[in-house]
A and B are shown apart, each in its own frame.
Chain A
Amino acid sequence: MGSLTEARTSSDEGFLATRLDALINWGRKNSLWPMPLGLSCCGIELMAMIGPRFDISRFGAEAARFSPRQCDLMIVAGTLTWKMAKAARTIYDQMPEPKWVLAMGVCSSSGGMYDSYSVVQGIDSILPVDIYVPGCPPRPDAVIDAILKLQKKIERESPIKNLLAGTEVVEHEGTGVIRRQPNHAVERTELDRHPHSPAARETAVHFGAASPESLRGDDQ
């Protein structure tokens, strides 16, 4: 480690660190093992993508594991309900570092057509999503395109440089923002227009918000 530090400080760019980063990123991006969380019809397209016709093994991502302990890439394929959200979050927590999340389809990206009491309005409120794929369901080639874009994103990461600098850059949590889809029957809020803007995040309902007793219902 000492020699690495010297190498980093011996030049502005940190030649050895950047070369090591390039090597590690090359290995990581070409061996993305997906965790197929097939929740609805997107799961069928996901199977087609893994199968021989579209064949993501061409890009090193064919080894779909059904144990999160062996996965790098969580593909949330389909409608995530609030009841399922705990399981999805637990699976994500069980995956070893480094890990990435791909939101496949509009349901997992934004809730899609399910403007409903049971559906998470975008999995980014509970998971740190790296890449979104629109479509209902997206074609397998759209997801393959997303995986190629994710590979480009992985190329730009700097694991060794961050390790040496001691910076924590890994995002583990989602936004924690409870989004609502725009309801055109009522006045639209800032959150509806620009759901990712800082102002919208401040005004949005957040996970930390306390739940009023009056809304707890009649169970128990």
Chain B
Amino acid sequence: MTAPDPANAAPEAAVDTAPENPTETRVRAALDGLEVSFGAAQDAIVCVEFERELLHTVMERLRDSAGFETLTFVTCVDHLASTATEPRFEVVHQLISLAHGDRVRTRVRLTSDDATLASITDLWPGAGFMEREAYDMFGVRFEGHPNLKRLLMPEGYGHHPLRKDFPQQGIEPDRLYREWDRERRKDWNPKES
């Protein structure tokens, strides 16, 4: 760690008084020099927050320097209901180190008008499906993903169901079926067309 300048003295001191956490020490050493902050999590997992441009660098360092070799999940949270302010989306990555037996979580906030984030499929190919699910359900676009298609909803549906402003009964859930059904009736009942 670099020496704290006087402007940052107070928050640094607050963190330093906390009990020593070996995971946090390792993560701090790996992310040295990057603008990251350490947030609190209810389940006491070390939680790193930063701007979205840093995501790929942070993940690469956590994998290669801090020893978090396994990606647990990539998911997204829509904070529309709780805050009603931008940035609205929070993309969460969680890593696990099997060698050290600990976990780390990263959070990136995104605004709804530009919900794009770097893909980490080049670091962990297994992130592909999870990023596709986050894209399908929340509309977060992962740049660099080799195949960013919808995972659960049918292709062409156009809406993102886990957004908080999406109605429970859906926006025209039957539209794609109806369009297909019109063509089917032409094929099977030529009289109707």
Residues of A within 8 A of B (CB): 82-83, 85-86, 89-90, 93, 115-118, 120, 125-126, 178, 180-181, 183, 207, 209, 211, 215-220
Contacts and interface: CB of A to CB of B under 8 A. Distances in A.
A82 B173 contact: yes
5 contacts: A83-B154, A89-B181, A118-B173, A207-B182, A218-B139
Interface stretch (B54-62, B116-124, B160-168): B160-168
Contacts of A211: 172, 175, 178-179
Contacts of A120: 174
B61 to A, nearest CB: 34
B156 A219 contact: yes
Contact of A115 (B159, B168, B175, B178): B168
Q: Is the interface of A mostly helix, strand, loop or mixed?
A: loop
Nearest to B189: A172
B184 interface: yes
Given A93-B188, A126-B177, A219-B158, A118 B139 contact: no
A215 B175 contact: yes
Contact of B174 (A90, A115, A178): A178
A115 B177 contact: no
A117 B156 contact: no
Interface in B141-193: 150, 153-159, 161, 166-182, 184, 188
A82 B179 CA distance: 12
Contact of B166 (A117, A209, A216): A117
A149 to B, nearest CB: 29
A211 B166 CA distance: 18
B177 A118 contact: no
Given A90-B184, A217-B157, 10 more contacts: A82-B154, A82-B177, A83-B153, A93-B184, A115-B169, A180-B169, A207-B182, A211-B178, A211-B179, A220-B156
A218 B158 contact: yes
Contacts of A219: 150, 155-158
A117 B176 contact: no
Nearest to A218: B158
A218 B188 CA distance: 31
B163 to A, nearest CB: 11
Most B-side CB within 10 Å, residue of A90, A115, A216: A216
A116 B181 CA distance: 21
B139 A183 contact: no
Contacts of B188: 93
Interface string B52-75: 000000000000000000000000
Interface centre among A116, A117, A211 (most CB of B within 10 A): A117
A207 B167 CA distance: 20
A219 B167 CA distance: 18
A85 B155 CA distance: 14
B177 A85 contact: yes
A90 to B, nearest CB: 8
Contacts of A218: 139, 158-159
A125 B156 CA distance: 22
A116 B170 contact: yes
Given A86-B180, A118-B161, A219-B156, A183 B174 contact: no
A176 B55 CA distance: 48
Contacts of B166: 117
7 tightest Cβ-Cβ pairs between the two chains A and B:
A217-B158, A117-B170, A219-B158, A83-B154, A217-B159, A117-B173, A211-B175
Given A82-B174, A215-B171, A217-B171, A117 B161 contact: yes
Contacts of A181: 169
B138 to A, nearest CB: 12
